[in-house]
């Protein structure tokens, strides 16, 4: 029996789009980490929450331009769902910043790793997703690998633990909600960003300076910009458009769990680039073994979750009729 050429072409097209989406996300995410490191560590702009608010301002401008050009069509998102999403997203941003300040770097990394089990639990409880044994084991290998190469000193205190718990669950809920809203309301990435980016920009710029003052003891309005600091700030905001858009595209095409698991490739790349550009201090056999384990785990996860029964949804969420232009963007991406 000859293979169906149309199905093969569709499969090849999907694989190409999946690769493009991941490449877009990895490139922009690693790029913004490097730029923000220069902006904060070298030029002293340590106001992370306010910076995130500025990122969403530029993302909002992008959605306005896209709508003006006709690349994004008008859509609807209930205010109640928008408010929930903004609360989850802003708690995630503030929670991660506070967790980093109140905890050791080692415990902060452990908290980030906990986002994968948290995302898995949300999918199991709300979407009735079933994971095969190989898929579960591959996730464990990724977690062990990243832990081996990133977790060093571990110390915890009560307020740091509370901040970490809030950060983990708000991030998991935010990423789950991206996928949930896109499926429920047939929204593509541009449409969803058009609803959420303005609300996040306004709310983060409102609370950001106060949060940053609490974390740093410095006022953002007293910061004196050099020409290089301003350059890196603008560059960071420009790259953030790609980061925000690619996150929504990837979670829409895949799932929050796949985004978290394969997203640790960025951790490995950031560590590798850090050793290349900023010196080999801290590079040892343990770090190399951890990186190799993490990459092998990601490859295993990709293969295991793609097999029949590797990861399957046992109930389907009712989806509105997809009448919006471009809404097939995420529908072409099957769950992985």
Per-residue confidence (pLDDT) for residue 331, from 0 to 100 = 42
The answer to whether 176 and 52 are in contact (CB under 8 A) is no
The answer to whether 146 and 267 are in contact (CB under 8 A) is yes
CA nearest neighbour of 319 among 199, 172, 188: 188
Phi, psi of 87, rounded to the nearest 5 degrees: -60, -50
The answer to whether 93 and 47 are in contact (CB under 8 A) is no
pTM: predicted TM-score of the whole model, two decimal places: 0.79
Ranges in the chain, pLDDT < 70:
1-8, 152-154, 274-275, 277-283, 313-336
List Cβ neighbours of 116 (8 Å cut-off, separation of 6 or more).
Answer: 139, 142, 143, 257, 260, 261
The answer to whether 119 and 262 are in contact (CB under 8 A) is no
| Rounded Cα distance, 30 and 108, in Å | 19
Q: Record the tokens describing residue 160, joined without a space.
A: 């740091």
DSSP for 271-296 reads HHHHHHHH--TT--HHHHHHHHHHHH
Taking each helix axis from N to C end, the angle separating 189-216 and 158-185, rounded to the nearest 10 degrees, works out to: 170
Torsion angle in degrees (nearest 10) through CA of 140, 152, 104, 42? -110
What one-character DSSP code corresponds to residue 265?
Answer: H
| Rounded Cα distance, 90 and 49, in Å | 9
Per-residue confidence (pLDDT) for residue 330, from 0 to 100 = 44
Phi, psi of 230, rounded to the nearest 5 degrees: -65, -40
| Rounded Cα distance, 315 and 225, in Å | 53
Q: Record the tokens describing residue 135, joined without a space.
A: 């898929």
β-strands 311-313, 129-131 pairing: antiparallel
Q: Record the tokens describing residue 226, joined without a space.
A: 């050099």
Per-residue confidence (pLDDT) for residue 282, from 0 to 100 = 59
CA nearest neighbour of 30 among 307, 210, 243, 187: 243
The answer to whether 243 and 29 are in contact (CB under 8 A) is yes
Per-residue confidence (pLDDT) for residue 176, from 0 to 100 = 92
Q: What is the pLDDT of residues 90-134, one digit of tens each?
A: 999 988 888 877 877 777 778 888 888 899 899 889 888 888 889
| Rounded Cα distance, 236 and 228, in Å | 12
Q: Record the tokens describing residue 315, joined without a space.
A: 């109930």
Q: What is the pLDDT of residues 303-330, one digit of tens each?
A: 888 787 777 766 544 545 444 444 444 4
Per-residue confidence (pLDDT) for residue 261, from 0 to 100 = 80
Per-residue confidence (pLDDT) for residue 321, from 0 to 100 = 44
Per-residue confidence (pLDDT) for residue 239, from 0 to 100 = 95
Phi, psi of 131, rounded to the nearest 5 degrees: -105, 135
């Amino acid at each position: 029996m000859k293979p169906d050429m149309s199905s093969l072409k569709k499969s090849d097209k999907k694989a190409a789009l999946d690769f493009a989406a991941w490449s877009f996300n990895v490139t922009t995410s690693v790029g913004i980490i490097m730029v923000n490191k220069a902006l904060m560590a070298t030029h002293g702009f340590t106001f992370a929450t306010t910076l995130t608010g500025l990122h969403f301002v530029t993302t909002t401008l992008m959605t306005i331009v896209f709508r003006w050009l006709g690349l994004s069509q008008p859509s609807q998102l209930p205010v109640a769902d928008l408010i929930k999403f903004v609360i989850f997203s802003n708690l995630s941003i503030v929670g991660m910043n506070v967790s980093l300040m109140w905890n050791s770097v080692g415990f902060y990394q452990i908290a980030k790793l906990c986002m994968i089990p948290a995302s898995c639990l949300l999918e199991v409880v709300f979407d009735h997703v079933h994971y095969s044994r190989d898929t579960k084991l591959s996730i464990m290998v990724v977690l062990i690998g990243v832990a081996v190469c990133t977790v060093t000193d571990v110390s915890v205190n009560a307020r740091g633990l509370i901040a970490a718990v809030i950060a983990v669950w708000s991030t998991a809920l935010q990423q789950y909600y991206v996928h949930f809203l896109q499926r429920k309301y047939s929204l593509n990435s541009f449409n969803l960003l058009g609803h959420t980016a303005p609300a996040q920009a306004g709310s983060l710029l409102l609370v950001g300076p106060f949060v940053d003052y609490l974390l740093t003891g410095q006022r953002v309005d007293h910061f004196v910009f050099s020409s290089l600091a301003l350059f890196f700030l603008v560059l960071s905001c420009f790259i953030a458009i790609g980061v925000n858009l690619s996150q929504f595209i990837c979670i829409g095409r895949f799932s929050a769990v796949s985004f978290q698991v394969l997203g640790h490739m960025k951790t490995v790349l950031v560590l590798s680039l850090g050793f290349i550009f900023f010196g080999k201090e801290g590079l040892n056999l343990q770090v190399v073994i951890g990186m190799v384990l993490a990459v092998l785990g990601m490859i295993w996860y990709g293969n295991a979750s793609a097999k029949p029964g590797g990861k399957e949804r046992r109930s389907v969420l009712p989806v509105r009729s997809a009448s919006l232009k471009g809404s097939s963007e995420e529908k072409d991406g099957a769950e992985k």
